[in-house]
Amino acid sequence: SGTLLDFGKLPNKGKVYGTIEITNTGKSPLMVYSATCDDERITVSGGKKEIKPGVTTTIKVTVRPKEVKTKLEALVNIVCNDPNGPVRLVKVTAEK
């Protein structure tokens, strides 16, 4: 679904959710081995899965606004068996 997930201006409390869509445009199953983020203010779920050809799946990204003081910029790392790009990076941004 692209290389940027922008949450824009964050609320002061609660959690904010976004999704990264992955579509298998190939002819064989796409294996997503992991989807992780080193920033502890971000939680990534739904990472490990097999995607059949022509199918789209989503990875859920959660940001905790209370822990973001000014601006958030982080990378979600998606590791898969795509021969054209086994590691994909999605930049996550937000601001207070």
Please tell me whether residue 67 adopts helix, strand or coil conformation.
Answer: helix
Minimal CA–CA distance to 33: which of 20, 23, 42, 46?
46
- pLDDT for 21 equals 94
**Predicted model pTM:** 0.91
- Tokens 């990875």 found at: 59
| Average pLDDT per consecutive 10 residues, the chain (96 residues; last block may be shorter) | 91 92 94 96 92 96 93 96 93 95
- pLDDT for 13 equals 85
Q: Which neighbouring-strand residues pair with 57? A: 22
- pLDDT for 34 equals 96
Distances (CA, A) of 82 to 12, 38, 65, 74, 87: 38, 22, 33, 23, 8
Q: How far apart are CA 51 and CA 48, in angstroms?
A: 10
